[in-house]
Amino acid sequence: MNSNYKNLLSPFTFPVSGIKIASRTVMAPMTTFSGNEDGTTNDAEVAYYRERNESAGLLITACAYVIRHGKGFHGQIGADSDELIPSLRRIADAMKANGNKAVLQIYHGGRMSPPEELVDGQSLCASAVAAEREGAAVPREMTVTEIEETIVAFGEATRRAIEAGFNGVEIHGANTYLLQQFFSPHSNRRTDKWGGDLIKRMTFPLAVVDAVKKAVALSAHPFLVGYRISPEEMENPGIKMDDTLALVEALSKKKLDYLHVSVMDFWAGSMRDQKDTVARALKIVEKVGHILPVIGVGGAHTPEDVERILAAKISSVAMGRELLMEPHWLTKVKNNEVDQIITELDVNTQELLNIPTPLWNGLMSRSGWMPMKK
């Protein structure tokens, strides 16, 4: 065992479920674009997860839609019907095969759903306000019935995750998708109980948390519930850090196992206020870290990067892109093979890395996504 990285190699017990992970590292949720049209997984995607099942102590899946109308990506897996439980089980089994813990990320795309992925071509949102992106479709405002159905769907997806053998769910409240859209003053202009001031804009995300927790309470097994947030939005009006601090305070009263702060660079300060250079996750830890463990993410590659973040009272550190290019990250740290950790993607190694072709093509087509080996 490598004694240089004591923090990252130490176990962590989540406070509510009591579930223990053997290392304070996390595989970040990453969409693979590689599932089947009917929302099931396939051999290539399962092999991708199996390859990475020793990459970190906690392994989070790509986001899975909880209701067909929330599908956000081509090749996305679903958790919206009981028929998909065997497929979800294949992923959970592959992830857990070496003793690490598996979490299903549950999701609704809202206005970010590409119309061509939806049965009727019409995306939904809190309000009929298009995202500020070129060519963004104008969503339809959700009816109260649709809101209530979606809340139920998050609870049902949780039940399926439990039945499929996952150790937990992560509620995707980040990255501009539906839960964030309800919290955002940009996309939520409602005047009923689901919108309005800051507190009223929390109503939908908090109702989703309650539905998920209710499903968990019905299970006899310990089961993790985490929540992912994006701390800020660029839009005006848009989510500001103070809004987020109020949201995390409300979330901290919901008996969650963790909060996952989604940013691309952990140490970056505010994207709305250049003068504010304090890492946003640190402000969140300051506010709620004593009751709600915070997972940090964004730009960690080496064990030194992870240790530096852990030293800032972050409970565990997630890595996304790094574990695409280095599926055996944690094993190499444990075995004193840190100098062999790959931190640049070699364009000839798709097969070796067991990366399904749609994800691989995505990585190849977006310059700047990954450090590439020249």
Ligand X SMILES: Cc1cc2nc3c(=O)[nH]c(=O)nc-3n(C[C@H](O)[C@H](O)[C@H](O)COP(=O)(O)O)c2cc1C
Which residues of the chain form contacts with ligand X (CB under 6 A)? 28-31, 62-63, 105, 172, 174-175, 228, 262, 264, 297-300, 319-322
Instruction: Classify 194 as helix, strand or coil.
Output: coil
Residue (of 331, 327, 333) closest to 310 by Cα position: 333
Question: CA 342, CA 105: separation in Å to the nearest integer?
Answer: 26
- Report the nearest approach of ligand X to the CB of residue 105 (Å): 6
Instruction: Return the amino acid letter for 7.
Output: N
Cα 16 to the center of its chain, rounded Å: 19
107, 177, 227, 258: the active-site residue: 177
Distance in Å, CB of 242 to ligand X, minimum: 23
CA dihedral 34, 37, 39, 41 (to 10 degrees): -40
Write down the least CB distance from residue 192 to ligand X, Å.
28
Taking CA atoms, 113 is separated from 101, 108, 118, 124, 309, in Å, by: 29, 8, 7, 8, 33
Residue closer to ligand X, measured from CB, 71 or 228: 228
Q: With respect to ligand X, which residue has the nearer C-beta, 174 or 241?
A: 174
- Closer by beta carbon to ligand X, 31 or else 113: 31
Helices 203-217 and 144-164: crossing angle in degrees, nearest 10, is 30
How would you classify the pairing of strands 294-297 and 258-261? parallel
Q: How far is the CB of 329 from ligand X (least distance, A)?
A: 11
Q: Which two tokens stand for residue 116?
A: 């061509």
Please state the closest distance from residue 248 (CB atom) to ligand X, in A.
Answer: 17
Is residue 188 within 8 A of residue 141, CB to CB? The reply is no
Confirm whether 177 is a catalytic residue.
Answer: yes
By CB atoms closer than 10 A (0-12, 13-18, 19+), residue 372 is: middle
Rank residues 108 and 172 by Cβ distance to ligand X and give the closer one. 172
Distances (CA, A) of 181 to 30, 85, 195: 20, 28, 11
Nearest approach in angstroms of CB 36 to ligand X is 17
One-character DSSP codes across 287-305: HHTTTS-EEEESS--SHHH
Q: For ligand X, which is the closer residue by CB, 54 or 190?
A: 54
Q: From the CB of residue 366, how many other CB atoms can be counted at a distance below 10 Å?
A: 9
Give, in degrees to the nearest 5, the angle at Cα 101 between 97 and 107. Answer: 115
- Which residues are tagged catalytic? 177
